[in-house]
Structure 1
Amino acid sequence: MSIVQDFNLTTLDRLLRSFGERQQPLNLDTQLPQLIQALRADHLDLLPLPGQGNTLRRWQTLARVAGCDLALAKLYEGHTDALAILAECGAAHYVAEGTWGVWAAEPPDARTFITAREGAQVRLNGRKAWCSGALQIDRALITAWDEDGQTQLVAIELSQPSQGLNIEHWQAVGMATTASVDVEFTDAPATLVGSPGQYLSRAGFWQGGAGIAACWYGAAEALADYLREHCRKPRPDPHANAHLGAVDAALFGARAALRECAAWIDRQPGADASFEVRRTRAQVEQAVEQVISHVGRALGATPFCRSSHFARLSADLPVFLRQSHAERDLAVLGEQSAQVPAGAWQL
């Protein structure tokens, strides 16, 4: 697999621009897969790998896509994350034509088990929850539980008849198009990827978590641009200007956090980035929530009702943002912060 290190954001912007102001959401069955295919056809899915000196460029690309459409970003981020995982696990040779996803949620009431194996080929039984893009993608990396009670990453083809989709529980309005459904496995064939526990223990796990924050940031940046355009009008609006000032400060802090985190990862790509990524995600999450609030208060109902792009981002972003675990993440961040030596916050 060839990873493009000098990624052309201008080419990406040109492709996304034609989709940004459409009047309707991306069609689940045709438009969304077609757009992913167009990105792949132009090799715009071959992002710089995290930790290889261009992590910021990778996150900038994710932010661009998120600013266009968060349903598209959800599939695009999953596909590019899968390619990075395969490379990191020494399994890049598994990459084939088609769109990938990564399904690694492990709620206690939905687990997938390896029930038989022959070399690298295994059989799966059980249920996987929160399978984003299951109706649109071609193959996925998923976590399954092996005979020793460890999580093992496996690759599956989604065309197999031994898999069933349950879409009844997906009642979302925001992020509706991603259809994060449950998938049932009955003696389903799969291929081992990496070693047991490697998915969580590899450095790229947390590096990928920061990529999600870049998506949050990109969507918030796009919403903020509507407020900036409003404040450029000749007629003064001091209240809107005040909201824009708050938005600028919030985004400036979030951008600085993302850039610092990317540089940290590139300096020590094999290190545990959990602390740096958790604090970055917390910073970005708080900034995004401020942007949502200030932009809405400043602009009123008009863009929610008359701009399809603004309305979709406003509906999708609060749902996408809940990939954060809120106070649970902050509690772990606090535990980690307590172990940092005094003076670590000094300027």
Structure 2
Amino acid sequence: MYDQPSDDDLRHLQLRHGSRLALRHLVEAGLDVLPMPGAGQTLARWRVLAEVAAHDLSLVKLFEGHTDALAIQAELGGGLSASEGARWATWCAEPPDARVIAEEERCTAIRLSGTKAWCSGAASVTHAVVSCWNRDGEPWLAAVAMDQPGVRVTDEGWHAVGMADSASVDVRFDHAAATAIGRPGDYTRRPGFWQGGAGIAACWFGGALGIARAAHALMGKAPDPHRLAHLGAIDAALTPAAALLREAAAWIDRHPRDDARQVALRARLAVEQAANEVMRHAGRALGAGPLCRDRAFARAMADLPVFLRQSHAERDLAALGMLASQDVGKEPSSWML
């Protein structure tokens, strides 16, 4: 049985290492050893992601990328045999102006060249799983060690105030040695793609939970009716989002090899909406004071809107609507009590 880390584990690490935990602290403490998605304990995995997110959203951006890289390699096989304590990233954003090309050498050995954008934690990780393209124009995944001459971490590409500590800069590859993971196209074909996408919603939920906890703690002993109304709105937003995440995790564990796209999109969009409601009501309940005087609260309120934009907004809504419309002549089963 998986022994889930608790919020106390994070507090103990914070006492030991100071208020700003780093990815290496979580790895050294063994808190990155999570159940694989779809292996029967998906909710336990998401609870850890949510607790880290409630503590620090930039940190969970790195932590989720690290645990996702481990899950990808476990699912597809291959990758690098990294030393104990290795800190991984997952860099699979594909903006049109930044593309990495993979040239095959022998067996699984390949060479990477090009620019990868939005590389969170590039200056602090030891290895990365990177999306790339072969000469036939097919998408591929590669594992690459960062400590080599063909890898250059820049200070370009990230100017945001929110999520500033994720340091999501551009990385340039110049004939860098790498190892192919799976076969071309495997990244999005594998069941873990949408299972991991739903896990991102757990991170967003954790960010909203951290803000809600702060709002709850700052209400005071005798909050006025207006503050209580805002707290009630926060409760009404978070509670159904949490229920939907629990339902999504249970569905994934019951259907580990099925396409979880609809389940993931529904969870992501519902949690995004709930997170926006939590931020709106927390700000109106507490006023400017915590935003100006409470560093952790102010940082969370700045970080979460940026992290939420990992959602594709109306494109995701349209995709979910398309899936819902495919049940011709009847409403989706998820609408029924």
Bin for the TM-score computed over the shorter chain: over 0.9
Count of aligned positions:
333
1:259-292: CA deviations, max 9, x gaps?
0000000001010000010011000000000000
Whether contact under 8 Å (1:21, 1:309) holds in the other structure is no
Residue 71 of structure 2 aligns with which residue?
Answer: 84
| Shift of residue 138, structure 1, vs aligned partner | 0.5
Match of 2:83 in 1: 96
Match of 1:132? 120
Matched residue type, 2:324: S
Q: 2:185 aligns with which of 197, 201, 217?
A: 197
Which one of 211, 214, 229 corresponds to residue 223 of structure 1?
211
Please show how residues 257-296 of structure 1 align to structure 2 within 5 Å.
Answer: 257-296=244-283
Contact 1:114 1:125 in 2 (8 A): yes
Residue deviations 1:102-150, cap 9 Å, x none? 0001112111111341221111111111111111100100011012211
Is 1:72 aligned to 2:59, yes or no? yes
Q: Distance in 1 between matches of 2:100 and 2:309?
A: 24
Aligned equivalent of 2:238: 251
Contact 1:16 1:65 in 2 (8 A): no
Alpha-carbon distance between aligned partners in 1 of 2:142 and 2:2, rounded to the nearest angstrom: 27
Per the TM alignment, residue 41 of structure 1 is displaced from its structure 2 partner at its CA by 2.0
> What corresponds to 2:309 in structure 1?
322
Match of 1:9 among 6, 10, 16: 6
Distance 1:307 1:10 in 2: 20
Question: Which piece of structure 1 moves more, 213-222 or 335-344?
Answer: 335-344
Alignment equivalent of 1:105, drawn from 93, 102, 108:
93
Distance 2:258 2:228 in 1: 42
Q: Name the CA distance, whole Å, in 1 between partners of 2:25 and 2:72.
A: 22
Q: Which residue of the partner structure matches residue 156 of structure 1?
A: 144
Pair 1:211-2:208 in alignment: no
Mapping for residues 41-52 of structure 1, pairs under 5 Å? 41-52=28-39
Distance 1:334 1:19, change over 3 A: farther
Structure 2 CA distance for aligned equivalents of residues 340 and 287 of structure 1: 27
**Hey, what's the Cα distance between the residues in 2 that align with 1:253 and 1:273?**
20
Moved over 6 A (4+): none
Corresponding letter in the other structure for 1:182: D
Shift of 1:37: 2.1
8 Å CA contact 1:247–1:290 kept in 2: the answer is yes
Structure 1 residue identity aligned to 2:129: L
Q: 1:93 to 1:130 in 2, by over 3 A?
A: closer
SS of corresponding position for 1:44: coil
Which residue is 2:290 aligned to? 303
Q: Give the partner amino acid of 1:210.
A: A
1:171 aligns with 2:187: no
Q: Deviations over 1:56-109 (max 9, x none)?
A: 000000000001111111111110111111110123773433100000011121
Structure 1: gaps of 5 or more residues: 27-31
TM-score w.r.t. the length of structure 1 is: 0.91
Residue deviations 1:145-184 (CA, integer Å, cap 9, x gap)? 0122111110101111112223233111111111111111
Q: Whole-Å Cα distance in 2 between the matches of residues 180 and 247 of structure 1?
A: 30
For 2:17 and 2:142, locate their aligned partners in 1 and report how far apart those are by CA, in whole Å: 35
Q: RMSD of the alignment, in Å?
A: 1.8
Q: Using the TM superposition, name which of 286-295 and 90-99 deviates more.
A: 90-99
In the TM superposition, residue 243 of structure 1 has moved relative to its aligned partner by: 0.6
Take 1:225 and 1:48, find their aligned partners in 2: how far apart are those partners?
A: 26
Q: Are 1:155 and 1:190, in contact at CA under 8 Å, matched by a contact in 2?
A: yes
Q: Please report how far the alpha carbon of residue 306 of structure 1 lies from its aligned counterpart in structure 2 after TM superposition.
A: 1.5
Q: CA deviation at 1:293?
A: 0.3
Cα distance in 1 for partners of 2:147, 2:171 equals: 12
For residues 67 and 76 of structure 1, the distance between their equivalents in structure 2, rounded to whole angstroms, comes to: 13
Q: 1:318 Cα deviation (Å)? A: 0.8
Match of 2:173 in 1: 185
User: Secondary structure of 2:136's partner?
Assistant: coil
Structure 2 length-normalised TM: 0.94
- Residue pair 1:278, 1:333 contacting (<8 A) in 2 also: yes
Residue 222 of structure 1 deviates from its aligned partner by: 1.2
